Chains A and B, each alone.
Chain A
Amino acid sequence: MKRRVGDLVLWLKQNPGLAGSVVLFAVLYVLYSLAHPKGFSSQVLVQNADEAFSLALLAMAQTLPVLAGGLDLSVGAVMTMVNCLASVLVIGSPLEITLGIVLCLAAGAAFGLGNGIIVVYGRIQPIIATLATAAIALGIALFLRPKPGGKVDEDLSWALTNTLGDFADTYGLFDGGKAAWFEPFAWLPVAAILLLAIIAIVWLPLRRTVTGRTIYAIGSAEGAAFMSGLPIVRAKLAAFTLAGFLAGIGGLFLAIETSSGNADLPQAGAYTLNSIAAVVIGGTSLLGGSGSAIGSVMGALVLRVISFNFRVFDVPPLVQPLVEGLVLLAAVSLAALPVLRVKNMLELFR
């Protein structure tokens, strides 16, 4: 028991960013819900989850290269590319839709693998390699969708952007969502459940593989990782491939949510920068080696809940970027607070 408490304290000390972003998110979300006329309702929850999903996925995607001591400036562009691809492919018969989804996810992963190959075998710094490939991804997006448009299967769009009950109803599962055991969960947003499922299927196992550990090790001290005989090449390729894959899921969901494709270049850039902000707010070190994708998801939620609050408190649109910037700065400064307590100034440089 004592050891458990000790371990918990140690964990909190080792993960202040994650703990801080959870608290910040909770406070801001309660504030928002109290001010919202329909606060704490399934309807609002669904809307929030849909709006937060893509950024949360991009933040997860960004985390992996960052943990390995790199940066992926192409996540927003890959999202946009897959968004446009989905607006072409995800329609038609159930088989065609399934195939379309698989192709979209494969495209994101393949693009990420390409990034990884350039970084690993080309020995080009991630920041500049992905800056270049981001432009390529946007080029592909523009080629697929010179103008906004396209179409995504309506049933799918409805089912994934509403509650679990609506999902079951659409596809006639669990007695159309009326099964007794299912009822208590029917109000939950599909997007939130998807997000949890992706964390559970992708992130949690990854942390417990040698590849995942190697990603951390590379960001922590690449030389030591090499000397320890860790699979560095595999881990770097995996980090970038997974980043592309997760960004692809973000793009696919964006297409499903808007039921169309749009090669929106400013949006791609904003998503990329926000993914980096989310990673930092969530407590992942930009130097690599420490942090987690769960923290980054929390960081993304913090960013989203800030804009929810703008709406509910009627902040004029012209002031929003300013306020957003200040809140972001404050949040990041909060994470840096422990620095003030450092009594040995040498530790600031370690």
Chain B
Amino acid sequence: MTLPGAAGPTGGPSQSSLEVNQPFLALSAISKRYGGVRALDRVDFSCRRGEIHAVLGENGAGKSTLIKIIAGVVPPDDGAIALEGKPVRFAEPAAATAQGIVSVFQELSLLPDLTVADNITLAAPPRRFGLIDARAQRRRAEALLARIGCEDVNPAARIRDLPLSRRQMVEIAKALGKNPRLLVLDEATSALTQADVERIYRLLERLRQEQVAILFISHRMHEVEALADLCSVFRNGRHVRTFAKGALGNDAIVELMIGREISGQYPPKPPPRINPAVLTVEHLRWQDRLKDISLSIGRGEIVGLGGLDGQGQKELLLALFGVLRGLSGTIRVDGRKIAPASPAAAKRSAPGIALIPEDRKTEGLMLAMSVADNLTAAALERIARGPFIDPRKKARVVADGIKRLGIRVGAPEDAVSTLSGGNQQKVVIAKWLMTEPGIILLNDPTRGIDVGTKQELYRLLRELAERGAAILFYSTDYDELIGCCDRVAVMYDGHVVRELAGTEITEQAIVASALALGAAHTGVPEAMA
């Protein structure tokens, strides 16, 4: 395992080594600028059929731009693209798709008002007499969903009515339906449940055997370890290095990505101690999603919420933040019973509750508004003088917020949509910190953000806890729960099935409790072992 490419891909058939040695897609000296920002700088990159190629890098490293150029979404300013040795130029996504280059983007490309079947066969539906054949379309959707183990999704359901994790699986089924020769997965597993991730692993391995080239972008190192034959690291728009799986250790890879030494991904945890309870939940119920939840969070404590996706974790956070109606059970803050009627009420109630929402683009930010307006949106009364916003106070708190979280912005007046994903998430967090909340709820806050920002976030959480905040942290990434949390409550089917503390918090323990009652989730335990 010295030279990448010299060794055949693991698991790939060796008889086709000739084919394997000819890159399916080769980019040479590709450059791309956005305004003054150099997104890609003379990048050479290639991928081969029957090979899973992981692309790693921080946000802003150029991964997304690379993918967009390959998918025909944006044209390169400079450089050449060759497909099976022949030069090509993609004017639009459809042109790339026609060549078998199929992408599953981080931002979902599904149409919420159309049905699952409509979406899966969207651009090229089966037809009879020139019209769409609804029955054939349904059969095709069913077959593709079955192929990725999602028989539970009804092809007649609307995308809008599906949970995020199912939507992502539909997206993958849609991509499969286009018969990819090169499949690009851009953070495609970020919202998936562990069980679905396992299904995707098996699918990708099958596709590799079928000589599909696979480009795989993920911030989850264990996924890369499990899947990739080759890894390429990008940094600041440059292709830093390509190496075979296992050639470099995790620490070395992370170092390549961020270009600096890092000491441990997670900040050290304080020794176990008794924390006076700030937030206590007793027998909380809501519809069929929350079933008799009891939980308490102490001052200075980070409590993780774990378990498979969709077991009521998000609903619990929303319930505490006053978004759900028709709750039963009691919520106490500092011993007082509260029943927040809305996010506004939750925010006002002493000592203040904040929720970092799941989807920053729709629930966290007003994308078209400026960074400054977004930062101050939750704490306008702090910068108001009577009914008017005081521009000087505003400028001061905005500058403080930007500095405190190290948000990289051009000017605070820029639209927040111009920031990278990680910086956008920092804006959301800074916005809520301005309300000085005593209770902080986080709904999968690291989804799709880069390693560096993640580490800053972990440190920030610990720092906030040390200053007395009570933190409830839902994450779909078990690593984070293990690394960050003092305790982890594992949920299953609306119940808290187990609370883990201190050294009990291990991946095995979380997975085991997440599946404790999970006889229905067959196929997962052995695959994860």
Contact = CB atoms under 8 A, between A and B. Distances in A.
Interface stretch (A146-154, A183-191, A208-216, A305-313): A208-216
A220 B115 CA distance: 11
Given A224-B108, A343-B287, A344-B324, 10 more contacts: A209-B130, A213-B122, A213-B132, A216-B111, A219-B113, A220-B112, A289-B112, A343-B286, A344-B318, A350-B362
A206 to B, nearest CB: 9
Interface string B149-160: 000001011101
Interface string B109-132: 111111000100011010000111
Given A205-B131, A208-B132, A209-B131, A345 B324 contact: yes
B310 interface: no
Contact of A213 (B93, B110, B125, B363): B125
B134 interface: yes
Interface residues of A, number: 32
B36 interface: no
B73 interface: yes
Interface in A197-238: 205, 208-210, 213, 216-217, 219-221, 223-230
B109 A213 contact: no
Interface of B: 73, 92-94, 97, 105, 108-114, 118, 122-123, 125, 130-132, 134, 154, 156-158, 160, 286-287, 315, 318, 323-326, 342, 362-363
A350 B160 contact: yes
A169 to B, nearest CB: 36
Interface in A240-299: 285, 289-290
B363 A346 contact: yes
B156 A10 contact: yes
B154 A10 contact: yes
A230 B114 CA distance: 14
A158 to B, nearest CB: 37
Contacts of A213: 114, 118, 122, 125, 132
A2 to B, nearest CB: 13
Contacts of A11: 156
Contact of A210 (B109, B114, B125, B342): B125
Contacts of A47: none
Most chain A CB neighbours (cut-off 10 Å) among B94, B105, B114? B114
A14 interface: yes
A155 interface: no
Given A10-B156, A208-B134, A344 B109 contact: no
Contacts of B132: 208-210, 213
A199 to B, nearest CB: 15
Contacts of A346: 318, 323, 363
Given A220-B114, A343-B325, A350-B160, A210 B123 contact: yes
A96 interface: no
- Interface class of chain A by DSSP: helix
Contact of B109 (A227, A342, A343): A227
Interface of A: 6-7, 10-11, 14, 205, 208-210, 213, 216-217, 219-221, 223-230, 285, 289-290, 342-346, 350
A289 B325 contact: no
B73 to A, nearest CB: 7
A14 B132 CA distance: 20
Contacts of B92: 229
24 contacts: A7-B156, A10-B154, A10-B156, A205-B131, A208-B131, A213-B125, A216-B114, A217-B111, A217-B122, A219-B113, A224-B108, A224-B110, A227-B93, A227-B109, A228-B109, A228-B122, A229-B94, A229-B97, A289-B111, A289-B113, A290-B113, A343-B286, A343-B324, A350-B160
A229 B93 contact: yes
A261 to B, nearest CB: 37
Nearest to B121: A213
Contacts of A228: 93, 109, 111, 122-123
Nearest to B112: A220
Nearest to A346: B323
4 A-B pairs with the lowest CB-CB distances in the bound complex, closest first:
A229-B94, A289-B113, A220-B113, A208-B131
B309 to A, nearest CB: 17
A279 to B, nearest CB: 15
Contacts of A216: 111, 113-114
A224 B73 CA distance: 12
B180 to A, nearest CB: 14
Nearest to A210: B125
B61 to A, nearest CB: 22
Nearest to B160: A350
Contact of B157 (A10, A219, A224): A10
A146 B156 CA distance: 53
Nearest to B72: A229
B364 to A, nearest CB: 12
A275 B443 CA distance: 43
B71 to A, nearest CB: 8
Given A217-B111, A221-B111, A229 B154 contact: no
Nearest to B131: A208
Nearest to A207: B132
A10 B153 CA distance: 13
A213 B119 CA distance: 10
B92 to A, nearest CB: 7
Contacts of B114: 213, 216-217, 220, 289
Nearest to A342: B325
A289 B111 CA distance: 9
